[in-house]
Amino acid sequence: MDIILHLGAHRTASTSFQRYMRSVSDALAAGGTGFWGPGRTRKGLFHRVGTREARDRDRGRVQLALNGAARHGVARLVISDENMIGNVRRNIAQADLYPDIGERLARFRAAFGPVARAHLQIRALDLYWASSMAFCLPRGMPLPRPDGLAVMTRHARGWRGVIEDVASALPETSITVTPFERFADQPDRLLAEMTGLSRVPRNILRPWVNMSPDLPALRQVLEDRGEPAIALGAGPGRWMPFLSDQAAALRETYQDDIYWLRAGAGGLARYEDAPDRADPAKTGRPAAQARGPTDETDHQRLAGAG
């Protein structure tokens, strides 16, 4: 059984992808493709597995579940849980991009055994960080300090360092990378890309889920907490916490990442930015899903993603 990891990242439409996978799970199962999402992995299965406290019994629990999937005829298992690589609150607190992803994935590799494929979806860094902070603010995170934003702009690494850590932790694994800006609203094509399947069920689910709160919603959060909403500025639209020169510096780092990926990523990963090359098959209409818990995609692709 091939193990295929969808690593996220956070704020790159991972929940929309997971919702799609749930909606077409029966059709995929008929072709030998299984799926584990957060509904499976976060109910005890992955407890402690990615941490320094992991024990043999934690790894054994995962192995038992994998053996069960194989016995039920699963030829390839897509495991999608962005928390395997860390979390956005820790990224913000440390002003860095998944600094312990290598250690975490090495521990998951010890539980999974060989991993056939791993997939990472990346996003323009100014919008990734802005979306992460907008996501965390209603969940108790304080407003970022200007000096913290400055440190993040100067010292936080780009996606290249993240991908290099993934490759180091999973040396036998075929790694693919896609941009959020092209694949966010096409989870079916994302599935084709990460698995290599030539035909996958077409996505019919709308709307996208887990868009980050806009400025009016965030102002209400601050007012409810008794904090001055004026700190976010005036007007509608998205919250951009960075100064214009800081955002430009983050975008430049992202462009360097893309250049490196298009140049071959040193043989570590394959980059795909043309979702139209995949052709999801028409396999009937999957059952509609209720709006679920969320992950952000965007109605305006490049300019509005965030």
Establish if 115 belongs to a structural domain.
yes
Domain around 183: 2-125+157-212+253-286
Token pair of 233 as six digits:
């500025």
Q: Tell me, what's the pLDDT at 274?
A: 83
Establish if 300 belongs to a structural domain.
no
Establish if 175 belongs to a structural domain.
yes
Q: Tell me, what's the pLDDT at 275?
A: 75
Q: State pTM to two decimals.
A: 0.89
Establish if 257 belongs to a structural domain.
yes
Establish if 243 belongs to a structural domain.
no
Nearest 5°: phi and psi at 124?
A: -50, 130
Q: Tell me, what's the pLDDT at 276?
A: 65
Q: Tell me, what's the pLDDT at 207?
A: 65
Q: Per-residue pLDDT for the chain (306 aa), expressed as one digit of tens each?
A: 999 999 999 999 999 999 999 999 999 999 999 999 999 999 999 999 999 999 999 999 999 999 999 999 999 999 999 999 999 999 999 999 999 999 999 999 999 999 999 999 999 999 999 999 999 999 999 999 999 999 999 999 999 999 999 999 999 999 999 999 999 999 999 999 999 999 999 998 876 778 899 999 999 999 999 999 998 988 999 999 999 999 999 999 999 999 999 999 999 999 999 876 544 443 333 333 333 333 433 334 333 333
**Strand, coil or helix: 201:** strand
Q: Specify whether the CB–CB gap between 196 and 11 falls below 8 A.
A: no
Establish if 19 belongs to a structural domain.
yes
Establish if 232 belongs to a structural domain.
no
Domain count, the chain: 1
Establish if 24 belongs to a structural domain.
yes
Nearest 5°: phi and psi at 172?
A: -95, 0
Q: Specify whether the CB–CB gap between 193 and 279 falls below 8 A.
A: no
Beta bridge partners of residue 201, listed in sequence order:
281
DSSP category for residue 45: I
Number of Cα atoms under 13 Å in the Cβ half of residue 128: 32
Helices 125-136 and 244-262: crossing angle, nearest 10°?
120
- Round to whole Å and give the CA distance between 90 and 177: 23
